[in-house]
């Protein structure tokens, strides 16, 4: 019987742990974790994401600050706001909602965030710490960190002897996911659009992670029987059964086929997605613990 991984359930568990850790930190040190979220412009999807992040931060007991800037904000104004938040000791996490309006460059903004406040895990210092195996002082990008929680719950902390294949080599997900798996002693292959004989390679994987951005590319016969399949893809396809012009979300894995073969699988939606915000809260709590001179909890 295939185990369908319930992302909402696991995310709820992580958030519960964050709440407990926050209460403990406040009781022991008087420090309340602070999260500042910056949004520029009026993209509706971005506002939905930001509101859910701010709401979750309050639920966790954090100080939650939201800066909503007009679309015409200049690069200098945005970077000045980040600089002021870097200086603010009550803020432990700074998040700039992407994408930014076209006239703004996101990379200089992200790299201007202090690495210890970079709760999105996108700063080159945090990427470098992960690449060198330093999980104690860095912050890991939220989506791969969330996917790794699933892997650990199924296979335990030590992945020795297991083969993992990650399809996708992005800085945002593919590379950090591969490094997390490697850090846990898995034997890791990073595959991508130019990989030869991709289905054959995928069939060697005890842990198969799809993050390639191609609708239902991974078929059931790509999956090794009993493998754990983590689907990070978010693709919108037509859903005429729901009515004219309606759509639905699907992943990079053909779920109906893969579910019959896999030992465990994440659905889309309801799999990796809910974990991203939960791990953002976890990173903010870790940052606050470190700022207070205490060992950060693991989530």
Residues annotated in the binding site for NADP(+), as ranges?
A: 168-170, 234
Beta bridge partners of 115: none
Considering only CA atoms, which of 222, 218, 254, 221 is closest in space to residue 237? 254
How many CB atoms are closer than 10 A to CB 214? 14
For residues 89 and 81, the answer to whether their CB atoms sit within 8 Å is no
| Residues of the binding site | 168-170, 234
Beta bridge partners of 4: 265
Active site residue 120: yes
Which residue among 97, 116, 179, 216 is the active-site one? 97
User: In whole angstroms, how large is the CA radius of gyration of the chain?
Assistant: 19
Residue 197 CA to residue 213 CA, distance in Å, equals 18
Which residue among 118, 120, 206, 254 is the active-site one? 120
For residues 56 and 33, the answer to whether their CB atoms sit within 8 Å is no
How many angstroms separate the most distant Cα atoms in the chain?
A: 57
Q: What are the C-alpha distances in Å from 290 to residues 50, 107, 139, 229, 235?
A: 25, 25, 11, 34, 37
Active site residue 6: no
Active site residue 254: no
For residues 107 and 113, the answer to whether their CB atoms sit within 8 Å is no
Q: 66 in the Ramachandran plot: left (φ > 0), alpha (ψ -120 to 50) or beta?
A: beta
Residue 52 CA to residue 47 CA, distance in Å, equals 9
Catalytic residues: 53, 97, 120
């Amino acid at each position: 019987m295939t185990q369908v991984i319930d992302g909402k359930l696991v995310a709820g568990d992580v958030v519960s742990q964050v709440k407990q850790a926050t209460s403990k930190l406040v009781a022991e040190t008087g420090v309340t974790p602070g999260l500042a979220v910056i949004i520029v412009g009026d993209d509706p999807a971005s506002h939905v994401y930001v509101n859910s992040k701010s709401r979750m931060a309050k639920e966790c007991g954090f100080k939650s600050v939201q800066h909503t800037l007009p679309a015409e904000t200049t690069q200098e104004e945005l970077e000045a706001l980040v600089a002021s938040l870097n200086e603010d000791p009550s803020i432990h996490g700074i998040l700039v909602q992407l994408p930014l309006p076209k006239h703004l460059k996101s990379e200089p903004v992200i790299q201007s965030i202090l690495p210890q406040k970079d709760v999105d895990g996108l700063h080159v210092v945090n990427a470098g710490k992960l690449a060198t195996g330093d999980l104690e002082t860095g912050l890991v990008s939220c989506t791969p960190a969330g996917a790794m929680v699933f892997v650990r719950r199924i296979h335990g902390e030590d992945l020795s002897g297991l083969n993992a294949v990650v399809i996708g080599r992005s800085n945002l997900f593919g590379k950090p996911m591969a490094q997390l798996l490697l850090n846990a002693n898995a034997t890791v292959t990073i595959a991508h659009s130019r990989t030869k004989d991709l289905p054959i390679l995928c069939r060697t994987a005890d842990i198969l992670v799809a993050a390639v951005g191609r609708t239902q590319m991974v078929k059931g016969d790509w999956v090794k029987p009993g493998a754990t399949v983590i689907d990070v893809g978010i693709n919108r396809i037509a859903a005429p059964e729901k009515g004219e012009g309606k759509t639905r979300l699907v992943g990079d894995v053909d779920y109906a086929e893969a579910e019959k073969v896999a030992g465990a699988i994440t659905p889309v939606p309801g799999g990796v997605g809910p974990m991203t915000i939960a791990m953002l809260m976890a990173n903010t709590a870790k940052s606050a613990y470190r700022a207070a001179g205490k060992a950060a909890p693991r989530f």
